[in-house]
Amino acid sequence: MRLSGKIALVTGAAGGIGGATARCFARQGATVVLVDIDEVRCEDVLRQILQEGGTASCAVVDLTSEPQVVELFANVRRTHGRLDILVNIAGGDCEPAASVEEIDPERAMRNLDMNLKSCMLCCREAAKLMKPQGYGRIVNMSSLVYRGSPNQFSYSASKGGIYSFTRSIAMALGSFNITANALAPALVEVDAFVRALGPERWKALAEASAERYPLKRIATPDDIAKAALFLASDDAAFITGQILEISGGARL
Ligand SMILES: NC(=O)c1ccc[n+]([C@@H]2O[C@H](COP(=O)([O-])OP(=O)(O)OC[C@H]3O[C@@H](n4cnc5c(N)ncnc54)[C@H](O)[C@@H]3O)[C@@H](O)[C@H]2O)c1
């Protein structure tokens, strides 16, 4: 097992990618703190992990709230005394497919808060635990649209911001044996898309995307979880400040 004895905090753990990552880490021996704003789905993932014999707990937190994030990490310190791995997966796009002329400042700020601010707050609090212990692995969720997108403006800006923020903390924290890297998936098959688009529109989007990708399929949540596992493990001990595109070769 690659994460035996490690304490790992996974945000967005109620979601498609976060749930798969939390389960993967638990199977690899980590004690996992599942964090999400969605209590019902978070408890579902917790149940699955416990049924598989893993060790985990759930924390219901709005990660855009600074006091709630501070309290979350204070609880981790009280309960576990340390934090080895932070995986920031919570996020999403609440302003998809708008034209440039339709950019809405409120929804744009919501995207920046939900994706970038939440990630920055969690990294800040994690650094306070990781620096004194001289060990840490941070994995942040960007997206392939960090390169830009013709119809996701504030979302791509938030994901580009996550990449540059990750490089900055990699520079600042490296001497404390803390690595920080980012993941950049192309389209991933998650229930949230089916719920948002309906099965027909989702199928059309998934098929059209798969056709464009050299590997001729879109990603599964497990594809992303395995990349997160690599970057969170000691196999990646000398990798920091990088972005890993998990895209089936999209946009080469
Ligand atoms: N699915 C994709 O195609 C894809 C591609 C690239 C990047 N991503 C990124 O991967 C991450 C996970 O996405 P997913 O596809 O699994 O979607 P998802 O909707 O299934 O998961 C996102 C989770 O984040 C949680 N969350 C959102 N705001 C929160 C907040 N303020 N506080 C706490 N939790 C919050 C949601 O409740 C949800 O459980 C996101 O950051 C997303 O931008 C997804």
pTM listed for this prediction: 0.99
Q: What is the residue whose two structure tokens read 């796009």?
A: 93
**Number of the ligand 1 atom closest to the C-alpha atom of 92:** 43
**All domains in the chain, ordered by first residue:** 7-188+221-242 (3.40.50.720)
Instruction: Give per-residue pLDDT as tens, 119-164.
Output: 999 999 999 999 999 999 999 999 999 999 999 999 999 999 999 9
Say whether pLDDT at 97 is over 80.
no
Instruction: Give per-residue pLDDT as tens, 56-77.
Output: 999 999 999 999 999 999 999 9
> Atom 21 (ligand 1): residue with closest C-alpha?
15
**Number of the ligand 1 atom closest to the C-alpha atom of 221:** 16
The pLDDT value recorded for residue 96 is 80
**Number of the ligand 1 atom closest to the C-alpha atom of 224:** 10
And the tokens for 16? 């498609």
User: Which residues line the pocket of ligand 1, CB cutoff 6 A?
Assistant: 12, 14-18, 36-38, 41, 61-64, 89-92, 114-115, 118, 141, 143, 185, 187-188, 190, 192
Q: Catalytic amino acids?
A: 155
Q: What is the residue whose two structure tokens read 């996550």?
A: 162
Say whether pLDDT at 208 is over 80.
yes
In our burial notation (b when 16+ CB lie closer than 10 A, e otherwise), range 5-19 reads ebbbbbbbbbbbbbb
Residue 212, SS3 per DSSP: helix
Edge-to-edge strand ranges of the sheet holding 243-246: 55-60, 31-36, 7-11, 85-88, 136-141, 178-185, 243-246
> Atom 27 (ligand 1): residue with closest C-alpha?
91
Q: Tell me the CA–centroid distance for residue 246 and ligand 1, in Å.
A: 16
Lowest mean pLDDT among 22-36, 62-76, 93-107, 232-246: 93-107
Of the candidates 18, 4, 7, 9, the residue with the CA atom closest to the CA atom of residue 222: 18
Give the span between the Cα atoms of 73 and 60, in whole angstroms: 12
